[in-house]
Amino acid sequence: MTITCSQPDDFQGIIPLMTDPHVAGMIVATPVYFGTMTSLAKAFLDRCVVFRRNGTLLRDKIGGVIAVGGFRHGGQETTIQAVHAAMLIQDMILVGDGHTTFHYGGTIWSGHPQGFADDAFGLETVRNLGRRVASLALRLHGRS
């Protein structure tokens, strides 16, 4: 089955990657703008409607989210929840970072005084999220 998008741009090249049966999970990352994802991230997720309309092709793929905000509590969690909602509509399986004190996914603070690379707390959430997505994708899709 060939899936196409009505808009002729680079999204067409992403379609085979996202529907590849060997791709068992994905992580969406976005900056935080006014407490939610950027318009570019929203457009990407909206365009993923082609996967739902052609047989819910993202069903059971593992999904995780990373949000980068200018402040420690700068809307990262609400942004992650908004992306989670789009993933749930695709019937994806969502994971957080698996740590008992963090909750939704990877949360980076771009305004850290020494730069985001020194945001040890945020980088830990991102690493944990990556491990969780990979681990669950391997377990659920038969590649342990």
Q: What is the pLDDT of residues 4-60, one digit of tens each?
A: 878 888 999 999 999 999 999 999 999 999 999 999 999 999 999 999 999 999 999
Q: Of 81, 120, 82, nearest to 103 (Cα)?
A: 81
The fourth-level CATH superfamily of domain 22-138 is: Flavodoxin domain (3.40.50.360)
Query: Pairing relation of β-strands 25-33 and 62-69?
Result: parallel
Global pTM exceeds 0.95: no
Q: Which residue has the tokens 């991230």?
A: 41
**pLDDT tens per residue across span 82-95:** 999 999 999 999 99
Q: What pLDDT score was predicted for residue 143?
A: 63
Res 137: pLDDT: 95
Structure tokens at 35: 């407490």
Task: Please tell me the distance from the alpha carbon of residue 65 to that of residue 48, in angstroms, as a whole number.
Answer: 16
